[in-house]
Chain A
Amino acid sequence: MREIKKLIVLENKLISSNIYSMVLQSKGLAKISKPGQFINLYCREGSRLLPRPISICEINKLEDTIKLVYAVVGAGTKEFSNIKVGEKIEALGPLGNGFIIEKDKTKNIIVGGGIGVPPLLELAKNLNGEIEVYLGFRSKSILIEDFKKYGAKVHVATEDGSEGFKGNVLELMKKNNVNGSIIYSCGPKPMLKAVAKWAKKKNIPMQVSLEERMACGIGVCVGCVCKIKDKNQSDWQYKKVCKDGPVFWSDEVIWDE
């Protein structure tokens, strides 16, 4: 039977303003996890009832560890940031479907924005062929060196110009006249929407990892929905980000919100 496990925290350090990197001894979760999946972390404080879904940044099957990179955005993630090495945290996972890795693609483009960047790192490790990575941030970048370690060519855009190209990631992609055989993407919805529109014009297939407010993370509450077109494209349904996603093909998604 599946269960919520108490995992030992091996590392929990600040890597950028408000962003933490947490490594967990995974009790076998690493072995069954795939890029783009996520883990539910549970708060100790009972008034914070719901799990926090956090994407998996790196999987180490040999050492049975999982790395999560998360932003402190509220009281729950603040609580996580105060957990000391050696302490335990309740976790359930892996959850969701992750990216569909297309091994035959020769030129992979990865597009990430802000706290949507972490799950793309484990993805990059698992791709064949050339990898070009475009990452956008408000001001300070994260994980750039890690992407380079896996042989990716990394391009950075920041809104305030403090690092790399000044502007958004799509402007940088257009400027560099990017082309490729597939795009994998995760980040804020406006970025995904803009890149999806561009990809459609260029006729490049694209996968997007979506985010939505969740309660359970296991497909029961039907809270975290997004509009997904039916196969024949004549109608649409609300699909669950946690269970049907979080990764979808960009041309299935209705981007109206």
Chain B
Amino acid sequence: MNKDDLDLRVKIAGVELKNPVTTASGTFGSGREFKEFIDLNALGAVTVKGVSSVPWKGNPAPRIAETYGGMLNSVGLQNPGVEEFIKNDIPFLRQYDTKIIVNIAGRTIPEYCDVAEKLSNTDIDLIELNISCPNVKEGGVAFGTDPKMAEEVTREVKRHTKKPLIVKLSPNVTDITNIAKAVIKGGADGLSLINTLIGMRIDINRRKPILANVVGGFSGPAIKPVALRMVYQVAKVVSVPIIGMGGIATGEDAIEFIMAGASGVAVGTANFRNPRATIDVLNGIKEYMIKNKIKSLKEIRGII
């Protein structure tokens, strides 16, 4: 068996990706900064940084703190707004043979709907609804932690767009399967999980939090066991495709998520340590498949 015999195709919310590897929103921009490091054509999809209806300035600095095996961020979804995104980033990404997943953010349901509607007639493939950013005070996290609100925002966004809809779930809940079931009832065609965990660090010399926002989203290899457990739990109770993420940095990490039930795998914080991380993950998946004589990822998906 060699690389050409492998069938890496996966279907996410009705869209076929040539392989399961995508990027976690906010760790890859719109791919522009990575084109000098990797061939963007190699990726199954690019999931872009969150886009809102109008430009968002984001949170004050410091926005970054390293932690053991991970990091905290409190960027606060700084972005130039959906109109700039449509004008600049969609034409850029369309030069490449990869699917485009647009992560959308909002503070209110009408704001989410406005972004979804504006993207509806553009040449993108999927929308990923971010109802779980821990760094935005209004809306954001509340939508992701209350099943009723999660269902409602999903239903309203779904009504405003023709694009297939993935909902990105927050891990900062007591039972993630309740939220998963709620957004599927609201019409979600797929799920992404997990978003960042909420964490903090304190500078003991200055006697102050390191992040200006006090708390931030915890990501990186350190959170992988939590992410894997949640993908496993959700995959057991839903039938829509899942994009798994949280600490994926190698092919072995990705295989673990696939065995737990993920169809797609997203590389996030690893992009900051290694700009070639997505390619390394893809190559690692292929090597595992060859070594274990796996022709299609269907053979191992959800086997746990």
Interface residues of A (CB under 8 A from B): 1-4, 42, 46-51, 92, 212-216, 218-226, 237-238, 243, 257
Given the known interface contacts A42-B273, A225-B78, A257-B60, the answer about A220 and B37 at a Cβ–Cβ threshold of 8 Å is: no
List B residues 19-43 near A (Cβ within 8 Å).
Answer: 26-29, 33-34, 36-38
**B71 interface contact, C-beta 8 A:** yes
Given the known interface contacts A213-B61, A213-B64, the answer about A223 and B38 at a Cβ–Cβ threshold of 8 Å is: no
Nearest opposing residue in chain B for A75, CB measure: B66
A50, B69: Cβ atoms under 8 Å? Answer: no
User: In the complex the two chains form, what is the Cα distance from A225 to B68 in whole Å?
Assistant: 23
**B2 interface contact, C-beta 8 A:** no
**B58 interface contact, C-beta 8 A:** yes
**B108 interface contact, C-beta 8 A:** no
Interface of B is mostly: loop
Say how far A246's CB is from chain B's closest CB, in angstroms: 13
User: In the complex the two chains form, what is the Cα distance from A169 to B27 in whole Å?
Assistant: 40
Most buried by B among A49, A50, A224, A237: A49
Given the known interface contacts A1-B38, A47-B69, A213-B62, the answer about A221 and B273 at a Cβ–Cβ threshold of 8 Å is: no
B269, A223: Cβ atoms under 8 Å? Answer: no
Given the known interface contacts A215-B73, A222-B75, the answer about A238 and B272 at a Cβ–Cβ threshold of 8 Å is: no
User: In the complex the two chains form, what is the Cα distance from A47 to B67 in whole Å?
Assistant: 8
A215, B64: Cβ atoms under 8 Å? Answer: yes
User: In the complex the two chains form, what is the Cα distance from A219 to B49 in whole Å?
Assistant: 12
B66, A220: Cβ atoms under 8 Å? Answer: no
A223, B57: Cβ atoms under 8 Å? Answer: no
A49, B65: Cβ atoms under 8 Å? Answer: no
Instruction: Give the residues in chain A near B33, CB-CB below 8 Å.
Output: 218-220, 243
B273, A49: Cβ atoms under 8 Å? Answer: yes
Given the known interface contacts A1-B38, A212-B61, A222-B78, the answer about A46 and B272 at a Cβ–Cβ threshold of 8 Å is: no
For this complex, 13 residue pairs linking A to B, each with C-beta atoms less than 8 Å apart, are: A3-B275, A4-B274, A42-B273, A49-B272, A212-B61, A213-B63, A213-B64, A216-B275, A221-B27, A222-B26, A222-B63, A224-B63, A238-B57
Nearest opposing residue in chain A for B31, CB measure: A220
A46, B29: Cβ atoms under 8 Å? Answer: no
A238, B78: Cβ atoms under 8 Å? Answer: yes
Instruction: Give the residues in chain B near A48, CB-CB below 8 Å.
Output: 66
List B residues 35-90 near A (Cβ within 8 Å).
Answer: 36-38, 49, 57-58, 60-66, 68-71, 73, 75, 78
User: In the complex the two chains form, what is the Cα distance from A221 to B65 in whole Å?
Assistant: 12
A221, B75: Cβ atoms under 8 Å? Answer: yes
B63, A51: Cβ atoms under 8 Å? Answer: no
| List of 6 A-B pairs having minimum Cβ-Cβ separation, nearest first | A223-B64, A216-B272, A213-B62, A213-B64, A215-B272, A223-B63
Given the known interface contacts A3-B276, A221-B272, the answer about A212 and B62 at a Cβ–Cβ threshold of 8 Å is: yes
B221, A46: Cβ atoms under 8 Å? Answer: yes
**B246 interface contact, C-beta 8 A:** no
A238, B273: Cβ atoms under 8 Å? Answer: no
**B177 interface contact, C-beta 8 A:** no
Nearest opposing residue in chain A for B69, CB measure: A47
**B220 interface contact, C-beta 8 A:** yes
User: In the complex the two chains form, what is the Cα distance from A220 to B222 in whole Å?
Assistant: 21
Nearest opposing residue in chain A for B210, CB measure: A213
Contact for B70 among A4, A49, A92, A213, CB less than 8 A: A49
User: In the complex the two chains form, what is the Cα distance from A46 to B26 in whole Å?
Assistant: 22
User: In the complex the two chains form, what is the Cα distance from A256 to B204 in whole Å?
Assistant: 24
B221, A49: Cβ atoms under 8 Å? Answer: yes
**B178 interface contact, C-beta 8 A:** no
B64, A1: Cβ atoms under 8 Å? Answer: no
Say how far B93's CB is from chain A's closest CB, in angstroms: 15
Say how far A1's CB is from chain B's closest CB, in angstroms: 6
User: In the complex the two chains form, what is the Cα distance from A226 to B27 in whole Å?
Assistant: 19
Say how far A78's CB is from chain B's closest CB, in angstroms: 14
A225, B61: Cβ atoms under 8 Å? Answer: yes
A3, B64: Cβ atoms under 8 Å? Answer: no
**B233 interface contact, C-beta 8 A:** no
A221, B57: Cβ atoms under 8 Å? Answer: no
- Cβ proximity bits B249-284 to A, threshold 8 Å, 1 near / 0 not: 000000000000000000001011111100000000
Given the known interface contacts A221-B73, A222-B78, the answer about A257 and B275 at a Cβ–Cβ threshold of 8 Å is: no
Most buried by A among B65, B66, B75, B276: B66
User: In the complex the two chains form, what is the Cα distance from A223 to B272 in whole Å?
Assistant: 11
B64, A224: Cβ atoms under 8 Å? Answer: yes
User: In the complex the two chains form, what is the Cα distance from A216 to B64 in whole Å?
Assistant: 10
User: In the complex the two chains form, what is the Cα distance from A51 to B276 in whole Å?
Assistant: 14
Instruction: Give the residues in chain B near A1, CB-CB below 8 Å.
Output: 36-38
User: In the complex the two chains form, what is the Cα distance from A215 to B70 in whole Å?
Assistant: 11
Instruction: Give the residues in chain A near B68, CB-CB below 8 Å.
Output: 47
Say how far A216's CB is from chain B's closest CB, in angstroms: 4
B66, A49: Cβ atoms under 8 Å? Answer: yes
